[in-house]
Amino acid sequence: MIDAAGIPGAAVAAVRDARHVCVLTGAGVSAESGVPTFRDAQSGLWEKFDPLDLATPEAFLRDPALVWRWYRWRRDLVAMAEPNPGHVALATLAARIPRLTLVTQNVDGLHQRAGSKDVIEFHGNLFTNRCFAEDCVVDCDAGAEVPVCPGCGSNVRPGVVWFGEAIPEHALDQSFAAAADCDVFLSIGTSSLVFPAAGLAEIAKQSGAIVIEVNPNPTGMSAGFDYAIAGNVGIVLPDLLACTAEVE
């Protein structure tokens, strides 16, 4: 049975009857909130920059002011964004099933603003500031061109995980454990290109979970999912939520 949104009935039943659902979200979940995905062509001034070049410690050491201009541009974009129906559906689904673990690669905080609790921020958060030398969260004058640590005077950086940097240990451990324990793994709005986040689906599959992808475009991992639902989160997730609400 395929329902109106193109969600296979067996996928709906798996989510509805799951003891534990683990969700991994990527930039595609925030696209309908007006936040460009990580690999969409960047707009305006940032068009000539590749995010993969800017989101690195090397870029920050080379030109901290440039990197801060990029992150401030993104902070301003996100500050104007609102959670979309996809974010809200995930927050609502969590209240409807026994256990939902939400792991996000996004740094925009929109899941939390939509009401999701205990969000695991696998790649950190855009709005926190960390001392580059001490690697601790600091309060600082974020308005300065390159904020400095009030404690040691080193440059302050945005509290995100850059390429080549380790995932925060707690986030990594919690996410791996949830992927290994869940009955259903939902991979939503991610190109599945960035590791170790993209490896969570395989951990879930190896552990016997039903793995489901939601993405309007096929990804390099689509063939490995039990269900690859082609669609935008703003449509598919509210429909999935509605289907799981239909009690027999």
H-assigned helices in 146-199: 169-181
Figure out which of the listed residues 33, 125, 155, 215 binds ligand BV8, where binding follows CB under 6 A.
215
Q: Measured between alpha carbons, how far is 237 from 11 in angstroms, rounded to an integer?
A: 12
CB of 67 to ligand BV8, least distance (A): 9
223 DSSP 8-state letter: G
DSSP per-residue codes, 4-64: TTS-BHHHHHHHHT-S-EEEEE-THHHHTTTPPPTTSPPPGGGGG--HHHHSSHHHHHH-H
Residues 67-96 binding ligand BV8 (CB under 6 A) are none
14-22, 137-145, 157-165, 173-181 -> range binding ligand BV8 (CB under 6 A): 157-165
User: Restricting to residues 169-188, which ones interact with ligand BV8 according to CB under 6 A?
Assistant: none
- Is 111 among the catalytic positions? no
Q: d(Cα 185, Cα 15) in Å, to the nearest integer?
A: 9
- For residues 83-94, one letter each, b for 16 or more C-beta atoms within 10 angstroms of the residue's C-beta and e for the rest, the string is bbbbbbbbbbbb
Binding residues with ligand BV8: total (CB under 6 A): 34
Q: Shortest distance, CB of residue 196 to ligand BV8, whole angstroms?
A: 5
Q: Which of 76, 196, 206, 230 binds ligand BV8 (CB under 6 A)?
A: 196
Tell me: does residue 244 bind ligand BV8 (CB under 6 A): no
233-245 and 85-94 are packed helices; what angle lies between their axes, rounded to 10 degrees?
30
CB of 237 to ligand BV8, least distance (A): 9
Asked if 28 is part of the footprint of ligand BV8 (rule: CB under 6 A), the reply reads yes
Nearer of residues 195 and 248 to ligand BV8, judged by Cβ:
195
41 binds ligand BV8 per the rule CB under 6 A: no
Rounded Cα distance, 20 and 16, in Å: 10
Beta-sheet pairing, 120-121 with 100-104: parallel
**Contacts of ligand BV8 in 109-128 (CB under 6 A):** 123
Q: Which residues pair with 60 in a beta bridge?
A: none
Return the residue of 143, 164, 170, 247 that touches ligand BV8, per CB under 6 A.
164
Q: Footprint of ligand BV8 on this chain (CB under 6 A)?
A: 26-28, 31-32, 37-39, 52, 55, 105-107, 123, 160-166, 189-191, 193-196, 215-217, 219, 232-233
Catalytic residues: 123
